[in-house]
Structure 1
Amino acid sequence: MAKDQGTIEPNFHLKVSLSIIYFLGTWPPRASKYRILYLLYTVCSFIFLLGILLTAEIANVFANWGDMSKILAFATILMTNFIHASKVFILLSRQKRIQALLDLANSSAFSRYDKKHQDLLIKYTWKGLFHHATYQSFGAIAVFCWGITPITDLIAGRSRQLPMEGWYPYNVTRTPVFEITAAHQGIAIIIACFHNVALDTLMTGLITVACCQLAILERNIMSIDNEKNLQNDNNLSFLAEEKILSYLQLKRCAIFTMEIQNIFSTIIFFQLLSNCMIICLIAFNVTQMKVYIPAVLIGLVTYMCCMTYQIFIFCWHGNELHLHSLRIVTAAYSCNWFSATKGFTHSLQIMMIRSHRPFTLIAGNIMILSLDTFVQILRMSYSIFTVLQGSTI
């Protein structure tokens, strides 16, 4: 497809997420003589970004066992890194299935590289990029504030403190181990933030593709026979062909959505559950601060916004998918069905009956991804926060 000035490549949002994942070592090439070398890079990247931090944080839990106030202070980062590591495992273990989804999303049967649907393809691609940029902005501000904590402490004359708490088998306050450890933590959390956002936007980006295809299907059904005269036998064949293509497109969208749920539903469920805890713990930690350091406070607030937005993008995309599938019924009724043959109207009824069972994404077979779920999670988080607050009074 020749791209006009000002347009963007369809599904470019998936390409952005996948490029970040690839360069950070968690998307091995399927068939390449360098695959073994890349897997070694994967191991080194995982150890640098998450392995060392997770080990130090888990060791810190045992070192402070019994002191709940200290454990609650760093539990948010521990849960974030643990879920992040789980996503990496899901990505690597199910790479073939995810690649199959990406191949279908970029196939001619799914993308439809023609000017008729170019506006929809570009619209949904920009939606994916918007969510990626917004989500990344919250995360980048938070991790940047944490990463420069040692520098702000030095300028303010405060005691040395690492960006994140953890137990290390050496004295981290001495030079040069403090500088090395602080530099590792600062660099690791910044890079890990970009990687974690890319993993999430890859999942939501695939849902955006499904929404786009449903929008294309809706337009196609509504435009059936708009440019054709139904009294002609050739045009009746055209109607039959359009009906078959529409049903196949609906079927492909259903299979695509089901596979997204089968691959990602469990990890999305644990992500939503952990974020519910993280949000209330961040709010609790902020209320327990005795000295408000600007960089730390801004980092915590933007981190809470980032976790909230992380819940929102999953629930919003699930809600959009549900609404798009419901609109297929209205689109089928809006076409010129009353002038078509009985065979065509019968087939259209079958499609409408199928569309009455709208597409839904269920996280862990428990939570339906919708805006109602988003509100319920925030309410649950606030309830836990009030319980924690009451226990300290």
Structure 2
Amino acid sequence: MVVKRIQAFDLRDVFKTERTLLSLSGFYPQRHQINVPFYFTSALINVVVSYLQLFSMFGQMVVDRKDLSKLTDTLLFFMTHFTFLGKLTNFGYYRQNLLAIEDDLCARIFYSFSEKQLGILISKIGSCNTIAKIFRMSCVLCIIFYSVLPLLGDEKNLPLPGWLPYDTDAFYLETIIFQILSVCVSAYNNSSIDILTWKLIAVASGEMEILKENLRDLEYKSNGDKELEVTKETFGICIQQHNAVIDLVHKIEFVFSKGIFMQFLSSVIIICFTGFQLLVVPMASIQFVFLVMYFFCMMCQVAMYCWYGHEVMTTSDELGKFCYMSNWYDSDINIRKSITIFLEKTKKPVVLTAGKFVTLSLATLTGILRSSYSYFAVLQHLYQEDS
């Protein structure tokens, strides 16, 4: 029963939802050339709608360039949209590499775990799924607020700031539908790319946790040549597992690194401007509630990258300690040489970076928040001077 459960477990199913969602929008790579016109049309509609909204907001920024309050309001949504399109472009460019990652996750070495260790992996993935659901729900709530806000006032306001080359009052309903569609496209694809990345990193972190357990529980004391060969083989599997996880992390970084870097850069500005808008907007208004939800989404987006990246770094850094927790001192001299080489390799923790510049860690998260607050203080000072 236990063996069947382990055999039935497939790491590719961890991100099955995200694979399906991104396939429907036409961006996830397909192994077989089936329904190509559908995927192409879907991707084209998504891209055209998104870029039209981006240009509209850019035009509004030019119009409101002398009004700090309106400019920051537009820039807030412009940066979010611009970052999404940057991440989507990066994802589209490197997407074929996801098939290689899927192939790696079929490798037998990633399934070298016991029933107890499978529970650890499932628990880690389960917590990631819970966070993903909360994040998606908050995105849905933001879309609802986007849709409801224009209907609350007496004036014909639009969900998003944007310059349009026609009389919006004459085509008010059509404009609202278009803007809500653009928000849905952005939230749908952006959240799917984010969650896909989190889950892949969580899988790498879980595999590192299993490797730690395997190193600690490895029995080095052997009586006879047969047991010695078993010990060598078992330790060799640990080395293979370590190399496989490192290779997986490098492939994840290769696909998503530049997109994450864009997210980090824009998050500094977005968090700053969201905080500024919370200062300007009345607390009793529905717009304030919306901004709080929006702020939560932006924080969750950047925090989860840092959290799971930090987990990979810390778990890989602990491999040497867990190796020392075994009875390595009872091992054969040849195995000890292999252990020494392995320990030297584990001195350098496995890290994920954003654009090869910034490490995904909790220290980076605090740095982003610190920078956001610094810019917020400057913006607040300028606003008070204008007032």
TM-score scaled to structure 1, two decimals? Answer: 0.90
Aligned to 2:89: 89
Query: Structure 1 counterpart of 2:259, which letter?
Result: I
Aligned to 2:23: 22
Output the CA distance in 2 between the equivalents of 1:369 and 1:168: 39
Residue-by-residue CA offset, 1:158-182 (whole Å, 9 max, x unaligned): 21111101111111122xx111111
Tell me, yes or no, if structure 1 residue 166 matches structure 2 residue 162: yes
Aligned to 2:214: 220
Residue-by-residue CA offset, 1:287-338 (whole Å, 9 max, x unaligned): 223x556331111111111111111101111110111101110121112211
Contact 1:11 1:209 in 2 (8 A): no
What is the CA-CA distance between 1:225 and the residue it aligns to? Answer: 1.8
Matches within 5 A, 1:1-16: 2-3=4-5, 10=11, 12-16=13-17
Aligned to 1:32: 33
Contact 2:11 2:105 in 1 (8 A): no
Tell me, yes or no, if structure 1 residue 302 matches structure 2 residue 296: no
Matches within 5 A, 1:97-136: 97-112=97-112, 115=115, 117-136=117-136
Distance 1:111 1:11, change over 3 A: farther
Say which SS state the counterpart of residue 218 (structure 2) adopts. coil
Output the CA distance in 2 between the equivalents of 1:384 and 1:106: 46
Matches within 5 A, 1:1-393: 2-3=4-5, 10=11, 12-48=13-49, 50-112=50-112, 115=115, 117-153=117-153, 158-174=154-170, 177-225=171-219, 230-289=222-281, 294-393=285-384
Output the CA distance in 2 between the equivalents of 1:112 and 1:31: 30
Say which SS state the counterpart of residue 350 (structure 2) adopts. coil
Contact 2:261 2:354 in 1 (8 A): yes
Distance 1:392 1:63, change over 3 A: closer
Contact 2:59 2:162 in 1 (8 A): yes
What is the CA-CA distance between 1:340 and the residue it aligns to? Answer: 1.2
Query: Structure 2 counterpart of 1:365, which letter?
Result: K
Higher mean C-alpha deviation, range 127-136 or range 332-341: 127-136
Query: Structure 2 counterpart of 1:124, which letter?
Result: K
What is the CA-CA distance between 1:10 and the residue it aligns to? Answer: 4.3
Output the CA distance in 1 between the equivalents of 2:68 and 2:14: 42
Contact 1:83 1:270 in 2 (8 A): yes
Say which SS state the counterpart of residue 26 (structure 1) adopts. coil
Residue-by-residue CA offset, 1:80-115 (whole Å, 9 max, x unaligned): 111111111111111121221122124333245763
Mind listing any 5+ residue stretches in structure 2 that lack a counterpart?
none
Say which SS state the counterpart of residue 126 (structure 1) adopts. helix
Distance 1:303 1:252, change over 3 A: same
Say which SS state the counterpart of residue 200 (structure 1) adopts. helix
Output the CA distance in 2 between the equivalents of 1:142 and 1:312: 18
Query: Structure 2 counterpart of 1:146, which letter?
Result: Y
Output the CA distance in 2 between the equivalents of 1:179 and 1:335: 68
Contact 2:29 2:98 in 1 (8 A): no
Query: Structure 2 counterpart of 1:44, which letter?
Result: I
What is the CA-CA distance between 1:15 and the residue it aligns to? Answer: 1.4
Residue-by-residue CA offset, 1:315-371 (whole Å, 9 max, x unaligned): 111110111101110121112211110111111111111011001122223222111
Contact 2:68 2:383 in 1 (8 A): no
Query: Structure 2 counterpart of 1:58, which letter?
Result: F
Higher mean C-alpha deviation, range 188-197 or range 236-245: 188-197
What is the CA-CA distance between 1:151 and the residue it aligns to? Answer: 2.6
RMSD: 2.2
Distance 1:341 1:114, change over 3 A: closer
Distance 1:71 1:150, change over 3 A: same
Output the CA distance in 2 between the equivalents of 1:389 and 1:17: 39
Say which SS state the counterpart of residue 267 (structure 2) adopts. helix
Query: Structure 2 counterpart of 1:314, which letter?
Result: Y
